[in-house]
A and B are shown apart, each in its own frame.
Chain A
Amino acid sequence: MIAAHLPVLQIVVPLIAAPICLLLRRGSLAWGLSLAVSLAVLVIAANLLTQVLESGPISYQLGGWAPPWGIEYRIDVLNSFVLLIVAAIGAVVLAYARRSVAQELPESQQSGFYTALLLCLAGLLGVTVTGDAFNLFVFLEISSLSSYVLISMGRDRRALTAAFQYLVMGTIGATFIVIGIGLLYMATGTLNMADLGARLPAAGASRTVLAAFAFLTVGATLKLALFPLHFWLPNAYAYAPSAVTAFLAATATKVSIYILLRFFYTIFGPAFAAADITLQSLLIPLATVAVLVCSTVAIFQNNVKRMLAYSSIAQIGYMMIGIGFGTATGLTAGIVHLFNHALTKGGLFLVLGCVVLRAGSCRLDDLAGLGRRMPLTMFGFVLGGLSLIGVPLTAGFVSKWYLVQAAIEQGNWLVAAAILAGSLLALIYVWRVVEAAYLRPAPENAPEAAEAPWSMLIPAWILIGASVYFGVETSLSVGVASEAARFLLGGAG
């Protein structure tokens, strides 16, 4: 009986746990419940993915109302893959969170923190799972509002302005999305995504539909921080609590990219997105500039968290290059990189959280000599950094391999060169951290820094280890991603 309800349980298990967390006043109790819930969510997501791979898309009718009138949860190979990413990152981050949150937040805020984190998780999963365009907006707001709260809980007072900046930009993005959905509803009279996809060709490329396309594209690129709409991201990541940074960096922007894919391919259809609008000429230049400019900016950052935030924007550029090509190889590369980068960047931010716990900050100067005092932590950073650069035998290499292949397939040597240049720039900023940690002596008055506790090291190393593992064994990541790409190009339309 439960198996039939898995699609909705994916959302409502964290949703019912969130208010219970608020009722549990003790931070440690709230953490225990959240961890249990996130593990359950991971099990559900893994189950859904195997179900979809075995027997095709699953549809769930909320409240027993048949689509297209009622809300439908529709799970296919693309979103079950994204579900697995979000759920896995959620479970790892929650396992990690207890010590880090206990140090960075006062006890009185902790149960509220876990409530917001669970709501954010439920919102992100909801965006991914739903087959209803308006429902997607509602879940997007649930995840966004709770992420503003989470960011504002950072220790640094600048976290408040960072959260406010993100709130303004995020709200503009969400408003654009809802305007776009409204216009689509005007043109077709339906909100169900599959139904929209079926009816839009008949509506033709009218001005309403084109405006909807523009609003949705800009709204989604704002949420996923595509250059030049990325200005909210560096501060938000730099000042949020460590666990939140890792969680959001690995999930929030990835889910926004999923939204974009869903709009382009399920609702508008590959033909519309590729041909009528010449998306390629819009997305690829912006994404290429993102790779080059933001990687360069990252080199000049002194706060390592900020450095990685800029690197995230560059990595989003890689994903958007793949999506911009719109070919099977390109989409595969984009989706694989979505997966690989979630692991790598999530792992790197978790490692930085260990550094913050012991060294008190993550400015480059405070990292001096840490290689000797926190060997496991810093070695984790080195491995994650290698994956970020795209060294063979790491996950980053796999995605870049496919990306360069996609570029060459198109004869686009300029973009292929930019991808390689981005890797070189990544080498420079990763090297700056390595140099500080291993080659510089610790300052005289440095605080006594011991290795981070196991409760934090193990989750961080799970993600770092995964980003190495998926550099060698790619049947899950590339296999599912290429199937998702085929599905997007062929099945939906």
Chain B
Amino acid sequence: MSMLHRHFILRITTKLLMPFILMFALYVQFHGDFGPGGGFQAGVIFGAGFILYALIYGIDAAEKVTPPGLIRAVMALGLLLYVGVGYFGMFLGGAFLDYNVLRHDPVHGQHLGITLVELGVGTTVAATMITVFFSFAGRMRRGKRPE
């Protein structure tokens, strides 16, 4: 990775682009209610931001930002959020994943439900993208089977 220390343009462009990539991911995430977008696409964009960072600054630097243990937990938490919303609807007297009962009226309930579920999808997809990248990239560095 020492080669890349000289690539000022790449390094600085990455740094400049990072906030916009992540912001765009969030835009796609929350715009999913009204137009094209949603959790899966947003998660991929969000994960791609971190992967770009890892490509330019190296795995070690990237792992400081996103420790593997944390990412693993986030991966699980996203799915938990999704399933949790489903259970919550059930406890409120509806069917599993029934959003209507989440709020005082069905329109708001549907809105809240799909937002939370998509957030869960986005979180898990982003974390999975990062994990997949790290396991492949980390293979060469550690020279053994990744965990």
Contact = CB atoms under 8 A, between A and B. Distances in A.
A12 B88 CA distance: 12
Contacts of B93: 1
B96 interface: yes
Interface string B120-147: 0000000000000000000000000001
A21 to B, nearest CB: 8
Interface residues of B, number: 22
A16 interface: yes
Contacts of A20: 76, 80
B88 to A, nearest CB: 12
Contacts of A41: none
A62 B97 contact: yes
B76 A64 contact: no
A207 B97 CA distance: 38
Contact of A63 (B80, B96, B147): B96
B89 to A, nearest CB: 8
B75 A22 contact: yes
A108 interface: yes
B97 A16 contact: no
Contacts of A1: 93
A18 B147 contact: no
A18 B99 CA distance: 23
A64 B100 contact: yes
Contacts, number: 50
A309 to B, nearest CB: 25
B77 A19 contact: yes
B80 A19 contact: yes
A60 B94 CA distance: 11
B147 to A, nearest CB: 5
A62 B95 contact: yes
B95 A64 contact: yes
A474 interface: no
A8 interface: yes
A61 interface: yes
Interface string B80-107: 1001101101100111111110000000
B95 A61 contact: yes
A15 B80 CA distance: 9
B79 A18 contact: yes
A440 interface: no
B90 A5 contact: yes
Contacts of B73: 22-23
Given A5-B96, A63-B98, 9 more contacts: A12-B96, A16-B83, A19-B76, A19-B80, A20-B76, A23-B73, A63-B99, A64-B94, A64-B98
19 contacts: A5-B90, A8-B90, A12-B83, A12-B86, A15-B83, A16-B84, A19-B76, A19-B79, A19-B80, A23-B76, A23-B77, A63-B95, A63-B98, A63-B99, A64-B94, A64-B100, A108-B147, A109-B147, A112-B147
Interface of B: 72-73, 75-77, 79-80, 83-84, 86-87, 89-90, 93-100, 147
Interface of A: 1, 5, 8, 12, 15-16, 18-20, 22-23, 60-64, 108-109, 112
Q: Which 3 A-B pairs have the closest CB atoms?
A: A19-B76, A64-B98, A63-B97
